């Protein structure tokens, strides 16, 4: 035998899966949401998407160069952060706001902690929240969707959740026709962030991730389920004031948050039990912030708060080692 | 038949045997050539008749050179009469166990633990459930499947003997559901006998002892404990056949079934091999290689050992010889853990492989231990699924060894 033999400790075969394959699948799954965004918000959405993605890629390269580390931008994780950030910004975001968001997401949200796998908070959400607090005007200027090719310009309006909050603060009552447009809400024909508007497009992508076994049901199901149950309580007590659970589900960023942001592997618990806790926590916090907080939307804050709780959750939800449960030990 | 047999004295868990023959001596097939040393040890026998041409250290599958007896066959293949067939009706339990010990029977699943030790549990540990492992322990390997198809009588004879030895109330042969032919055949052959043939879910590592017990009985072997702690004993179906050979026919363990396979072998086969056959001979019998292999693995792809060349002998635990091509060898570069938790979902022992591996690599042994590193069965599932190709089980294996070493030195 002339050729070199490979010696190593077992196992000698591998599933063939890789981090970049996982990342690529997540990117593909976001394409429907991006397409719907461009359809409803036109070139403005496309601009936000491009600036955010390219901004994240560039920031990652610059950070890693500066730190003298190998440049791993090809693994696709920075691109995902970019796309997710864009989906979480208003379509009318000025270019500098988007770019600043990209720099914050990668530099402060990810690289300062040591890069991929080491960041405690979801980088895209870190950026969104920093921008929201620092630039409240730009970050809460919403546009009503304009059907693609109609030639109309974007018109400023309020999101359904914002409309509800304003009305409740002024009159204590919900606007009468607010809950009548559920089909439009489902398709994405409403004001909101670039990528959060269409539940349909997001669910299509999520279906693909389920099929690829990248997404498991634990966090999305408990998150959405908790929001539905918890918001139902308020709705049943006072349906004139509090919106119904379907409204909670379809408006705002819940679907985007529950399926794409709260399922970020790096910043969420590793055990099944931990994921369930995480989802429930996100759900409770989201409803509380939406109904009683200062901001109309609570998904980003809820997820970031639960990100902070992840190490604690991991600590208390360690899986029971085989042979240590009472059932097994009994003889 | 190969030009020479290299029979290592160390082929089992426990103390190696000690060569009991000298150079120049002629031996007959089945004659003891290595004597057991201590209780957890078994004798070693000549695979054929011939002349002892060397008693020296030779390259061993475990990765080093170890004492071996080298035999040049005389072509006669004539049996020794040292071991005599027994009549099952008149043998006592102790006599059966002694015959098994003298025949050098070890667990044939791969670990090669002396069978007579397993057959002598302390008197306070009553065995109520006896499980036979007909689950192929790893991908690629089909040796146990062939054994059940071709020698069901011998397997069932061994099952009956072991049932008698243990006095077990429930006897189960667990077979993966994707082997309906073996299930049907054993059901037919065992009709009327108090033996249950249980089809099991096809998944790795279903053939691991603790997972098999859980699948059959619904109970978990306690952490740090042994199957007998929950009144269970597990034997491989090939071990049962070897027990039958030893007790009923007076044949020592000098043969086994070995799967020679992999993308780089021309004609993959299950071979009945003599212990001590050089790997090069097995490759030759299987038509040679299709290309220079990238990796030579003894055992299965998940837990087997890589070899430097074909210049080592097959031993009692050699359940397979797997030849991988260069392109089958995974050389993906390791990336950072993205906490995807696939290793957590894959771990059959419900551990956190990524956490234990990270602690092990930093020599934080107390922490690794706290996360139940010692419960790892080293099945390799975590490393297999890891998208970042982190050597998880490899790191845990290192951690376990370091923890043991520390315990021993203190």
Q: Which domain holds residue A177?
A: 159-315
Mean pLDDT within B88-105: 92
Q: Which of residues 236-275 of A touch B (CB under 8 A)?
A: 265-268, 270-272
Percent of chain A surpassing pLDDT 70: 95
β-pair partners for A72: none
**A1/B contact by beta carbon, under 8 A:** yes
Percent of chain B surpassing pLDDT 90: 88
Tokens of A71: 């440049």
CB A167 within 8 A of CB A174: yes
Verify whether the Cβ–Cβ distance A331 to B229 is below 8 Å.
yes
Instruction: Please indicate, yes or no, whether residues A84 and A164 belong to a single structural domain of this protein.
Output: no
Per-residue pLDDT band at A177 (split at 50, 70, 90):
confident
**A326/B contact by beta carbon, under 8 A:** no
pLDDT at position B200: 95
Residue A259 to chain B, least CA–CA distance (Å): 15
Instruction: Please indicate, yes or no, whether residues A184 and A291 belong to a single structural domain of this protein.
Output: yes
Give CA–CA dist B283/B287, Å, rounded: 7
Verify whether the Cβ–Cβ distance B229 to A15 is below 8 Å.
no
**B303/A contact by beta carbon, under 8 A:** yes
Instruction: Please indicate, yes or no, whether residues A163 and A294 belong to a single structural domain of this protein.
Output: yes
* pLDDT tens-digit series, residues A63-116: 999 999 999 999 999 999 999 999 999 999 999 999 999 999 999 999 999 999
Say if A326 falls within a structural domain: no
Of B219, B308, B378, the CB nearest to A5: B308
Per-residue pLDDT band at B111 (split at 50, 70, 90):
confident
Specify the 3-state DSSP secondary structure of B78. Answer: coil
- The distance of Cα A207 from the centroid of its chain, to the nearest Å, equals 16
pLDDT at position A234: 96
Give CA–CA dist B410/B404, Å, rounded: 10
**B401/A contact by beta carbon, under 8 A:** no
| Cα nearest neighbour of A321 on chain B | B350
Say if A286 falls within a structural domain: yes
Q: Which of residues 322-381 of B touch A (CB under 8 A)?
A: 322, 324, 326, 328-332, 335-341, 344-345, 348-352, 354, 371-372, 375, 378, 380
Of A2, A272, A328, the CB nearest to B219: A328
* pLDDT tens-digit series, residues A299-328: 999 999 999 999 999 999 999 999 987 554
Per-residue pLDDT band at A188 (split at 50, 70, 90):
confident
Instruction: Please indicate, yes or no, whether residues A114 and A171 belong to a single structural domain of this protein.
Output: no
pLDDT at position A138: 92
Say if A320 falls within a structural domain: no
Considering the entire predicted model, what is its pTM? 0.91
CB B55 within 8 A of CB B22: yes
Architecture of domain B5-82+252-326: Roll (3.10)
Give CA–CA dist B354/B335, Å, rounded: 13
| Cα nearest neighbour of A329 on chain B | B222
* pLDDT tens-digit series, residues A232-277: 999 999 999 999 999 999 988 999 999 999 999 999 999 999 999 9
pLDDT of B150 > 50? The answer is yes
Mean pLDDT of chain A: 92
pLDDT of B330 > 90? The answer is no
Give CA–CA dist A177/B304, Å, rounded: 68
Instruction: Please indicate, yes or no, whether residues A26 and A168 belong to a single structural domain of this protein.
Output: no
Verify whether the Cβ–Cβ distance B338 to A265 is below 8 Å.
yes
Mutate to test the interface with A, among B307, B376, B384 (most CBs of A within 10 A): B384
pLDDT at position A156: 82
Of B221, B306, B349, the CB nearest to A7: B306
CA dihedral sign of residues B137, B140, B141, B145? positive
Nearest to B99 by CA among B82, B111, B113, B112: B82
Verify whether the Cβ–Cβ distance B306 to A319 is below 8 Å.
no
Of A5, A270, A322, the CB nearest to B220: A322
Whether the bond into A11 is cis, omega within 30 of 0: yes
Instruction: Please indicate, yes or no, whether residues A262 and A163 belong to a single structural domain of this protein.
Output: yes
ipTM of the complex: 0.89
Element (H, E) at B382: helix B381-385
Instruction: Please indicate, yes or no, whether residues A79 and A173 belong to a single structural domain of this protein.
Output: no
Say if A145 falls within a structural domain: no
* B82 or A21: which leads in pLDDT: A21
pLDDT at position A326: 52
Nearest to B248 by CA among B35, B36, B103, B80: B103
Instruction: Please indicate, yes or no, whether residues A175 and A289 belong to a single structural domain of this protein.
Output: yes
Q: How many domains does chain A have?
A: 2
| Annotation: CATH topology of B93-249 | Rossmann fold (3.40.50)
Whole-angstrom distance between the N-terminal and C-terminal Cα of chain B?
A: 50
Q: Which of residues 14-53 of A touch B (CB under 8 A)?
A: 14-19, 21-22
Q: Which of residues 55-84 of A touch B (CB under 8 A)?
A: 72, 75, 77
Of B222, B224, B295, the CB nearest to A6: B295
| Cα nearest neighbour of B373 on chain A | A321
Per-residue pLDDT band at A4 (split at 50, 70, 90):
confident
| Cα nearest neighbour of B310 on chain A | A1
Contacts of A270 in chain B (CB under 8 A): 339, 341, 344, 352, 354
Q: How many CA atoms are closer than 13 Å to the CA of A191, on its beta-carbon side?
A: 18
Instruction: Please indicate, yes or no, whether residues A102 and A177 belong to a single structural domain of this protein.
Output: no
Backbone angles phi, psi at B272, to 5 degrees: -90, 110
Mean pLDDT within B34-52: 94
pLDDT at position A328: 43
**B397/A contact by beta carbon, under 8 A:** yes
Nearest to A80 by CA among A35, A138, A122, A130: A122
Residue A216 to chain B, least CA–CA distance (Å): 11
Say if A241 falls within a structural domain: yes
Mutate to test the interface with B, among A7, A8, A10 (most CBs of B within 10 A): A10
Count how many pairs of residues, chain A against chain B, have C-beta atoms within 8 Å.
170
* pLDDT tens-digit series, residues A157-169: 888 998 898 888 8
Q: Is B196 exposed, middle or buried (0-12, 13-18, 19+ CB in 10 A)?
A: middle
* pLDDT tens-digit series, residues B351-389: 999 999 999 999 999 999 999 999 999 999 999 999 999
Residue boundaries of the structural domains of chain B: 5-82+252-326, 93-249, 342-409
| Cα nearest neighbour of A1 on chain B | B292
Nearest to A267 by CA among A218, A219, A307: A307
pLDDT at position B17: 94
Helical segments of B119-262, H only: 143-150, 152-166, 180-189, 209-217, 237-249
Instruction: Please indicate, yes or no, whether residues A200 and A170 belong to a single structural domain of this protein.
Output: yes
Instruction: Please indicate, yes or no, whether residues A113 and A192 belong to a single structural domain of this protein.
Output: no
Verify whether the Cβ–Cβ distance B309 to A5 is below 8 Å.
yes
Per-residue pLDDT band at B109 (split at 50, 70, 90):
confident
Instruction: Please indicate, yes or no, whether residues A132 and A171 belong to a single structural domain of this protein.
Output: no
pLDDT of A150 > 90? The answer is no
Residue A86 to chain B, least CA–CA distance (Å): 22
Mean pLDDT within A109-132: 96
**B223/A contact by beta carbon, under 8 A:** yes
CA dihedral sign of residues B72, B75, B76, B81? positive
Give CA–CA dist B337/B356, Å, rounded: 13
pLDDT at position A330: 39
């Amino acid at each position: 035998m002339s050729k070199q033999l490979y010696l190593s400790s077992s196992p000698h075969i591998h599933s063939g899966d890789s981090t970049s394959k996982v990342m690529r699948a997540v990117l593909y799954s976001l394409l429907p949401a991006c397409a719907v965004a461009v359809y409803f918000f036109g070139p403005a959405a496309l601009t936000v998407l491009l600036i955010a993605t390219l901004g994240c890629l560039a920031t990652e390269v610059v950070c890693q160069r500066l730190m003298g580390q190998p440049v791993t931008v090809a693994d696709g994780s920075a691109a995902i952060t970019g796309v997710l950030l864009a989906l979480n910004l208003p379509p009318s975001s000025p270019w500098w706001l988007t770019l600043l968001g990209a720099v914050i997401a990668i530099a402060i949200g990810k690289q300062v902690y040591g890069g991929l796998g080491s960041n405690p908070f979801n980088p895209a959400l870190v950026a969104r929240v920093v921008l929201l607090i620092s630039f409240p005007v730009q970050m809460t200027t919403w546009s009503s969707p304009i059907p693609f090719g109609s030639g109309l310009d974007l018109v400023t309006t309020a999101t359904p959740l914002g409309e509800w909050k304003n009305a409740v603060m002024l009159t204590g009552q919900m606007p009468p026709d607010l809950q009548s447009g559920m089909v439009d809400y489902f398709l994405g024909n409403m004001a909101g962030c670039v990528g959060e508007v269409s539940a349909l497009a997001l669910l299509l992508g999520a279906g693909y991730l389920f099929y690829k076994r990248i997404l498991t049901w634990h966090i999305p199901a408990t998150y959405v389920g908790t929001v539905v149950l918890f918001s139902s309580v308020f709705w049943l007590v006072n349906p004139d004031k509090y919106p119904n659970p379907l409204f909670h589900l379809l408006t705002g960023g819940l679907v985007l948050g529950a399926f794409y942001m709260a399922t970020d592997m790096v910043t969420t618990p590793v055990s099944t039990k931990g994921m369930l806790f995480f989802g429930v926590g996100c759900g409770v916090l989201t409803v509380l912030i939406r109904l009683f907080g200062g901001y109309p939307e609570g998904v980003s804050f809820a997820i970031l708060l639960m990100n902070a709780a992840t190490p604690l959750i991991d600590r208390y939800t360690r899986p029971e080692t085989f042979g240590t449960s009472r059932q097994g030990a009994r003889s | 038949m190969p030009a020479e047999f290299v029979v290592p004295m160390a082929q089992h868990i426990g103390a190696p045997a000690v060569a009991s023959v000298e150079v120049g001596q002629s031996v007959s097939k089945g004659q003891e050539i290595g004597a057991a040393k201590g209780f957890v040890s078994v004798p070693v026998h000549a695979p054929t008749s011939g002349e002892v041409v060397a008693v020296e250290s030779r390259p061993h599958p475990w990765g080093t050179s170890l004492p071996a007896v080298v035999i040049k066959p005389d072509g006669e293949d004539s049996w020794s009469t040292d071991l005599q067939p027994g009549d099952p009706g008149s043998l006592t339990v102790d006599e059966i166990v002694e015959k098994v010990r003298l025949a050098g029977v070890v667990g044939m699943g791969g670990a090669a633990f002396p069978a007579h030790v397993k057959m002598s549990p302390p008197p306070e540990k009553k065995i109520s459930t006896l499980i036979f492992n007909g689950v192929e322990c790893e991908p690629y390997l089909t040796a146990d499947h062939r054994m059940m198809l071709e020698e069901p009588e011998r397997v069932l004879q061994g099952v009956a003997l072991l049932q008698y030895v243990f006095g077990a109330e429930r006897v189960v042969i667990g077979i993966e559901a994707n082997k309906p032919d073996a299930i049907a055949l054993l059901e037919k052959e065992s009709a009327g006998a108090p033996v249950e043939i249980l089809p099991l879910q096809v998944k790795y590592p279903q053939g691991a002892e603790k997972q098999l017990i859980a699948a059959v009985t619904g109970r978990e072997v306690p952490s740090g404990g042994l199957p007998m702690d929950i009144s269970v004993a597990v034997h491989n179906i090939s071990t049962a056949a070897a027990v039958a050979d030893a007790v009923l026919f007076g044949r020592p363990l000098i043969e086994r079934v070995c799967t020679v396979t992999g993308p780089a072998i021309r004609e993959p086969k299950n071979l009945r091999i003599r212990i001590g056959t050089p790997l090069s001979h097995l490759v030759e019998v299987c038509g040679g290689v299709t290309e220079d292999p990238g990796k030579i693995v003894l055992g299965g792809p998940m837990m087997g050992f890589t070899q430097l060349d074909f210049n080592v002998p097959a031993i009692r635990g050699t359940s397979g010889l797997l030849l991988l091509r260069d392109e089958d060898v995974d050389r993906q570069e390791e990336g950072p853990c993205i906490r995807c938790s696939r290793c957590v979902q894959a771990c059959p022992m419900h551990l956190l492989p990524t956490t234990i591996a990270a602690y092990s690599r930093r020599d934080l042994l107390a922490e690794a231990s706290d996360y139940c590193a010692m419960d790892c069965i080293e099945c390799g599932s975590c490393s297999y699924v890891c998208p970042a190709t982190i050597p998880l089980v490899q790191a845990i294996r290192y951690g376990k060894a370091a923890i043991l070493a520390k315990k021993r030195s203190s």
